[in-house]
Amino acid sequence: MEPPSIAELVRPNEVTFAAHDRDVLASFWHPVALASEVADKPLSRRLLDVRLVVFRGEDGICVARDLCAHRGASLSRGWMDGCTLVCAYHGFRYSGTGACTGVPAQDASIPISQKLRLRTFPAVVRHGLVWTCLRPPARAPVPEWPDLALTGRQTIEVPVSLWRAAAPRQVENFNDVAHLSWVHTGTFGNRDAPQIHEYDVIERPDVLEFRLSYPHVDRDTFLKPGGVVTRMTYVYTLSPPFATKLGVLAPDGRILDIYDIASPETARQTRVYMLMSRNYDLGDPAAPAIDYQLFVNKEDMPVVEDQYPEDLPLDLREEVHISADRMSIAYRKRLVALGLSGHWVA
Ligand code: FES
Ligand SMILES: [Fe+2]
């Protein structure tokens, strides 16, 4: 039987998704925080129009609707007392299971109503991220990225960024190869070699994959003019709907994997989590690599935030495609196959 719609969890004035597409996306795992962010304060988050609170309970990280069952206050305005979440309005106390364990305004001998419960969602920590599924059971697992656990690798967390763009637009951009020579000329893009050679997309049940050879301009630091051209192999593995691993393989054996996971706060705003893993410069500080990647992202962001229509057109007739767009075409088709209508905004 189909799980119930999550439309009832959204405040009517905060609806940005069409209910059907929201329900499809709610059946997948999405990250809502870095595990390291969940410390001594409850976090306020939004996923698929739903306001969430993320906190550390007695048995681990808890993701719940950001709504106190008493008088509708936002629990993320409250605080943690050890592993107990305290509502800021009347001090009701909630455990990590979602049960209300204390009502300060009434005598402790009076039983607490069973209706005073948080609406909780499954939460798992994988790859240093907290993932949740608003409409379980999830249709696909959290992406398996075993390379992140390899010895001889350094994992780097890039600061989370907020994009004023639809998640599928951000994801398609990350997997788009014809823009590299145009948008990324401040970093690795090669304006002298814009042609993209034919590639095939391998379609598996949970991923879309392709590889490409690209004459990457190897600038030591960003904005340094010129630079050595190195033919890199880029290996893209997209786990629909919104998670991609890009392996950048140098001929000398250096590997830089970049993970881009787009978490749709609303139909028009996306929180992008990014991890990097490298097998070189292991003892070096991560800051230069982070600054470089942030600069790459900054090159993309204004273009993506300004695309029209804001929603990724899933009907292939709505935009014009070239052979370099094979991955984009496969991605759009896969989103349709998942059941998305592409009419994201109600
Ligand atoms: S609204 Fe949360 S304790 Fe009253
Ligand atoms: Fe880009």
> Residue whose CA is closest, atom 3 of ligand 1?
90
345 is a domain residue: no
Q: Is residue 346 part of a domain?
A: no
Residue 222, pLDDT score: 63
| Nearest ligand by distance to the CA of 112 | 1
Question: Are 128 and 167 in the same domain?
Answer: no
Domain boundary among the residues 132, 158, 176 is at 132
185 lies in some domain: yes
pLDDT digits (tens, 9 = 90+) for 257-311: 999 999 999 999 999 999 999 999 999 999 999 999 999 999 999 999 999 999 9
Nearest atom, ligand 1, residue 72 CA: 1
CATH of the domain at 121: 2.102.10.10
pLDDT score for 190: 93
pLDDT average, residue stretch 307-334: 96
Looking at the structure, do residues 205 and 95 belong to the same domain, yes or no? Answer: no
- Looking at 73, 103, 132, which one is the last position of a domain? 132
High-pLDDT (> 70) share of the chain, %: 97
Structure tokens at 274: 């990014």
- Residue 137 within any structural domain of the chain: no
Q: Is residue 87 in contact with ligand 1, taking CB distance under 6 Å? A: yes
pLDDT of residue 226: 67
Query: Whose Cα sits closest to atom 1 in ligand 1?
Result: 71
Q: Same structural domain for residues 210 and 178?
A: yes
227 — alpha (psi -120 to 50), left (phi > 0) or beta?
left
Would you say the CB of residue 164 lies under 6 angstroms from ligand 1?
no
Q: Classify residue 180 as exposed, middle or buried by CB count within 10 Å of its CB (0-12, 13-18, 19+).
A: buried
Give residue 173 CA to ligand 2 midpoint distance, Å: 6
* Per-residue pLDDT at 198: 94
What span, in angstroms and rounded, lies between the C-alpha atoms of 300 and 296? Answer: 7
**What is the model's pLDDT at position 77?**
98
- What total number of domains does the chain contain? 2
The single-letter code of the amino acid at 106 is: Q
Q: What is the pLDDT of residue 225?
A: 67
The tens digit of pLDDT for each residue in 4-31 reads 999 999 999 999 999 999 999 999 999 9
| 34 alpha carbon, distance to own chain's centre | 11
The CATH number covering residue 220 comes to: 3.90.380.10
The answer to the question of residue 2 being in a domain is no
Residues 112-128 have a mean pLDDT of 97
In 3D, which of 323, 320, 327 has the Cα closest to residue 198?
323
- Residues 309 and 204 both lie in one domain: yes
Give yes or no: residues 186 and 286 share one domain. yes
Question: Is the same domain home to 233 and 310?
Answer: yes
- The whole-angstrom separation of Cα 277 and Cα 313 is 32
Residue 29 in domain = yes
Q: Which atom of ligand 1 is nearest the CA belonging to 78?
A: 2
**Domain carrying residue 261:** 146-337
Residue 343 lies inside a defined structural domain of this protein = no
Pocket lining: 70 vs ligand 1, CB cutoff 6 Å:
yes
Distance CA 174, CA 310 (A): 16
Q: Are residues 173 and 262 in the same domain?
A: yes
Q: Inform me whether the pLDDT recorded for 220 exceeds 70.
A: no
Summarize pLDDT for 159-202 with one digit per residue, the tens: 999 999 999 999 999 999 999 999 999 899 999 999 999 999 99
Per residue in 74-90, pLDDT (tens digit) is: 999 999 999 999 999 99
Same domain, yes or no, for 183 and 260? yes
Q: Which of 74, 101, 132 is the endpoint of a domain?
A: 132
CA 191 / ligand 2 centre spacing (Å): 14
